[in-house]
Amino acid sequence: MRILTHNMLCCLKCDSFPLKIVAVNKEQDEQDENPEFIKHMLDRLDYDALKSAAKDLSIEGLPDALPENVAENQAALTSLHKLLLEVVVKDGELQCTNPACNRSYPIKQGIPNMVLREDEVKIKAV
């Protein structure tokens, strides 16, 4: 699972977003730098959720608030490159951080399982 995907996911039971990433096994998939891609992705993604993913995966260097011109901020670009293009979570889980819910979703061999059990489908945690 890549972090772009994580940026889209929310809890099926209570809609909590973002989910906390607990990575037991992750990989680094080396990619060429692509500042234009990063810039376009920031327009489309949720920045707070990117920061949350970076924290979960111990990737440092993301500014607290998104800089106005990220293309000129090399430190931010380097972190975002690692976060969006290189990190792949292979095994672990995605945890809902709502204390009233606490549902977790397993990730196995890079595949999150985002299906509720039959008895969970109708019960929405508030």
Size (the chain), residues: 126
Binding mask 6-45 for another protein (x = CB under 8 A): --xxx-x--x-x-------------------x--xx--x-
* Residue number with CB closer to another protein (100 or 111): 111
Question: How many CB atoms lie under 10 A from the CB of residue 69?
Answer: 8
Token pair recorded at residue 125: 């945690």
**Alpha-carbon span 117 to 97, nearest angstrom:** 19
- What is the end-to-end Cα distance of the chain in Å, rounded? 28
- By beta-carbon proximity to another protein, the closer residue of 36 and 64 is 36
Told to check if 100 binds another protein by CB under 8 A, we report: no
CB of residue 39 to another protein, shortest distance in Å: 10
The conformation of residue 2, written as its DSSP 8-state character, comes to B
Which tokens hold the place of 29? 């998939």
Task: Tell the smallest beta-carbon distance from residue 41 to another protein (Å).
Answer: 7
Site string for another protein, 47-86 (x = CB under 8 A): ----------------------------------------
- Provide CB contacts within 8 A for 80, sequence distance 6+: 38, 41, 42, 50, 62, 70
Residues that bind another protein (CB under 8 A): 1-2, 4-5, 8-10, 12, 15, 17, 37, 40-41, 44, 46, 105, 109-116, 118, 121
